[in-house]
Structure 1
């Protein structure tokens, strides 16, 4: 059953990754059955209403193709060290949700290319099956032939160099590798995606009109829908690039402030007063913060009686984040804060497992706003 916390109906899992049929998938299923069913009935009048059952079987084969495509993405993403959250077959085919730290151009390209390769492999396998089928099995040949054509088309179309297609991610990785800038890769792939969207509409609408023909309503409808999908996905990639440029202007070191780490059993009288304090439990897990200003308000008699646990403000789960370098930009901090949500006020930053300092979400936001203002000013 689907519920509010899930993107659809769960089919199963793949190496711990849940696979869902998205809530929008029935829409594409109905459209495919409504368009493919009459074609089957016209080609094989004797089938009657069974033609729509054949169309349903074709829809299930499409679902298999989508799941295979996304499963390839998921498996390679896991191999390259990404945390994969889910696989979803939805209205636009499907998507694989995974958390990445933009590890490398190679990882990004490998995750992208295996999806179309999976469809190409299905097309080749279907072609060999088709060669072994007798001419007396016409309906089965029709189904397998449609399966081969669809997977071949999806493989080729997805390799077109524009976001949000897999080919766009490959182009992004190539530009990223050449320039050293992920933002540059996203901008190039995003604009190529916009160009593809325009060309698709030109092919479906403008070209027939220039030849004096009436554009086919079916092709126009699907071309406009797909062009819209490409345009919005490409625009999102360009927006990500702009955001990435902004994040790159602020370093973790710029917003990091010193911190002491103490056990929650330490008496308040023994707490250091020259910086904020992070409180950990017996297992060494950080769970709270004592602001430096709060330390100065504790009177001496009280300080002898209470422990750090009594003064600490409890922090939400996910407030501890690991970074590779304090000279890196604040992308990892922003992602960590977004993952926790609006309740977070501080991030406890670890460097190679050791305390590096605290980052105030307010200070992080102020630093990004200042960087944005500098970039927007004429002198920048």
Structure 2
């Protein structure tokens, strides 16, 4: 499974491929132990042996399985890089693995191609294991059993990942198809996310309902695995739905939608003059300019409201103002994601940012207003 998540995860770096680290997350160790314990009884049944052998064989199979997952993720990353999308990290985790990128795919075709090569890689591995098991090793041997298990595991991983619902690769393909048809990437995310929610519920229902229909009570291990996988899929699908909705909001961001119009006064102005200027412009926000024309402060409306009218003429505007740090300025002509990135950088200096268009302060943008807009 792949997703555009820039932060580099923690873990052990095994090497680098396509300019990105291959990271073994600490949670992988837990997965390796649990899967080894789960598979060991089956290996003991196959081999008829006891002692440590079933656990050694089970561990070999688990390592083989995770190697197949790594091939899956490397396929994502290598094709992505060939299409101009730089992979950020290849990560093996408790849930298998994922590939992170420094940015999203530029076109629906690239997104679909990057998504489909992972499952295809697993299906190719499944075919390879089958061929070797059939033609290169003696029948009935332990090695043949392990190879057949690898073929089945890769076949399952490849086919399951093609199910059309995020966060699975098939969901990414569905997202790309909707994006191409509607020219709306975010609608694709929402549709594929909702489909992923259906898949998550379906996985749980299949594990629970099928045994009951056959008159058998589902075993506890199967129920636990179904619940974990269903929860993982539901979480990823829900995140995709939220990301799609948020992305649509981000695309529509403008200064008019998140900023509050402001007027400017000099540092020597009185509060009465600031009030008159703001009233004439039908706004409440006032920015105080430094002698060099830089926005230096903004009037705290609550503090200004506490000053009686008879004292406003003798109260300097700076007495009721909050400083604007250097850098707390944004280009008000920006829109969408460019505006959001600029606001993110400027808001590092403070929760209020002055918006400037053609060298003139036109509005104030507050972090809380931006957050409220992103939440819909």
TM-score by length of 1: 0.71
Q: Using a 3 Å threshold, how does the CA distance of structure 1 residues 209 and 47 change in structure 2: closer, same or farther? A: closer
Matches of residues 178-327 of structure 1 in structure 2 within 5 Å?
178-251=181-254, 293=290, 295-296=292-293
C-alpha distance in structure 1 between counterparts of 2:236 and 2:222, whole Å: 21
Query: Is the contact between residue 194 and residue 230 of structure 1 (CA under 8 Å) also seen in structure 2?
Result: yes
| 8 Å Cα contact 1:251/1:330 also seen in 2 | yes
Give the match for residue 121 of structure 2: 118
Provide the rounded CA distance (Å) in 2 between the counterparts of 1:186 and 1:68.
26
Aligned length: 309
Determine if contact 1:250/1:367 at 8 Å carries over to the other structure.
Answer: no
SS in 2 for 1:295: coil
* Paired position in structure 2 for 1:287: none
Q: 1:132 to 1:372 in 2, by over 3 A?
A: closer
SS across alignment from 1:232:
helix
Q: Residues 7 and 88 of structure 1 are in contact (CA less than 8 Å); yes or no, is this contact kept in structure 2?
A: no
Residue number in structure 2 paired with 1:46: 49
Structure 2 residue aligned with 1:363: 365
1:27-86 deviation per Cα after TM superposition (whole angstroms, max 9, x unaligned) = 110111101112112221335312211111111111211111111111122222223211
Q: Distance in 2 between matches of 1:75 and 1:128?
A: 26
Say whether residues 1:57 and 2:60 are aligned partners.
yes
Structure 1: any 5+ residue segments left out of the alignment?
257-290, 298-312, 348-354
2:340 aligned residue: 334
Structure 1 pair 184–52 and aligned structure 2 pair: CA distance change class (3 A): same
Structure with the greater alpha carbon radius of gyration: 2
Shift of 1:365: 4.4
Match of 2:306 in 1: none
Relative to structure 2, which stretch is displaced further, 138-147 or 200-209? 200-209
Gaps of 5+ in 2: 1-7, 260-287, 295-324
Find the residue that maps to 1:187 and give its secondary structure.
helix
Q: Is 1:153 the equivalent of 2:156? A: yes
Taking structure 2 as the reference length, the TM-score comes to: 0.72
Aligned residues of 2:77 and 2:87 also touching (Cα < 8 A): yes
- Considering Cα pairs closer than 8 Å and 6+ residues apart, tell me whether 1 or 2 has the greater RCO: 2
